[in-house]
Amino acid sequence: MPNHVEGANITEPTPEPQWTETRVRYSHYWPPWGGPNCARFVNGKCLSRTASGAPWEEWVEKGCACPKELPFGTVFRIDGREWTCVDRGSKVVYNRGIPWVDVMSPTAHYTYGQVIEAQVRLPGG
């Protein structure tokens, strides 16, 4: 006979997200710069949305572009900061088995193309 306590609200613990150690090839982009950083740049303003459909302004310093093989919502943890895949880019691909991660930030934290250690978590993981 199962134990039962009247009025007790028992819930299952939420499992910790599953992170996997990986390496990524780093770059950054900043939509207000235009050019390859923004597909629709009009009168000095980036009017594009991310490839996932979200306004880019909602993802500053927390969004990134990742290869199309990785679903939107994939999260990369780099130096303790989390970057969520919400965008794509024609050069954001796998290179020798290592994915480019193009973070949306006005400031580069690493040299363009530098391979760095990271963690990755797929959506629902």
Under the banding of pLDDT at 50, 70 and 90, the label for residue 124 is confident
Please give the pLDDT value at position 38.
94
46-85 burial, b at 16+ Cβ within 10 Å, e below that, comes to: bebbbbbeeebeebeeebbbbbeebebebbbbbeeeebbb
Please choose, from the candidates 71, 99, 107, 106, the residue with its C-alpha nearest in 3D space to the C-alpha of residue 86.
71
pLDDT confidence of residue 23: 98
Q: What is the pTM of this model?
A: 0.84
The predicted structure's pLDDT at residue 8: 56
Structure tokens at 59: 């993802």
Which one has a higher pLDDT value, 14 or 92? 92
* pLDDT over 60 at 1, yes or no: no
Rg (the chain; Cα; Å): 19
- Two tokens at 85? 């895949």
Backbone φ and ψ of 59, nearest 5°: -120, 15
3-state helix, strand, coil in the chain (%, to 5): 10, 35, 55
pLDDT per position as a tens digit, 30-67: 999 999 999 999 999 999 999 999 999 999 999 999 99
pLDDT in tens, 71-101: 999 999 999 999 999 999 999 999 999 999 9
Does 117 have pLDDT greater than 90?
yes
Is 2.40.40 the CATH number for 20-121?
yes
Q: Residue 99 half-sphere exposure, CB side, CA atoms within 13 Å?
A: 22
